Amino acid sequence: MNAIAQTTQRKVALICSHGGLDEVFPSLILANAARQSDIDAMIFFTFWGLDAITEAKVDHLHVNLAGNPSNTMPTIVAGLPGMESLAATMMTKQMKELDLPTVREMLGILEESGVELYACELAMKMFKREKKDLLPQIKDVITAGDFYDLSAGAQIIFT
């Protein structure tokens, strides 16, 4: 490791733009791993990613099956009513077996470990959400420009 890397605190800034249960966890897991490695971390939730931090939606995230190239189920079957809920139920059961926290619990863990959680102002306006709709762990509602200012020097990862 060179001298600059040794004296500079590492930072990661994650952008979470999808709201499926299977799509939200990569951001949460990466942020948690960063903090466990003493790397500063922040997550910027935008567009459908807002579902993960919205009080009314956080406990009801689905698994997006239709159009997912990794899904082995035919799209016509994956698109049937109830399939996304069924997949989410199965994934939630497997997560419990692995003793993984829920999205709500994980957000609490992240906040306690120092991860800064932000909501996108434009997406909030588009989806007609207000700050009172968000979980208490959300530090602020910010613009994309604010995100770039706050993430200066960070590795930016779009999940």
Note the pLDDT of residue 6: 56
Note the pLDDT of residue 37: 97
- Walk along the chain (159 residues) and give the pLDDT tens digit of each residue: 555 555 678 999 999 999 998 899 999 999 999 999 999 999 999 999 999 999 999 999 988 766 666 667 766 666 677 777 777 788 788 888 888 999 999 999 999 999 999 999 999 999 999 999 999 999 999 999 999 999 999 999 998
- The full DSSP string for 32-83 is HHHHHTT-EEEEEE-GGGGGGGBTTTGGG-----TT-TT--S-HHHHTSTTH
Residue found by looking up tokens 């990794």 in the block: 70
Residue found by looking up tokens 């509602």 in the block: 141
Asked if residues 141 and 119 have their Cβ atoms less than 8 Å apart, the reply is: yes
Report how far residue 2's alpha carbon sits from residue 81's, in angstroms, rounded to the nearest whole number.
55
Third-level CATH fold of 9-158? Hypothetical Protein Ychn; Chain: A, (3.40.1260)
Note the pLDDT of residue 76: 66
Note the pLDDT of residue 71: 67
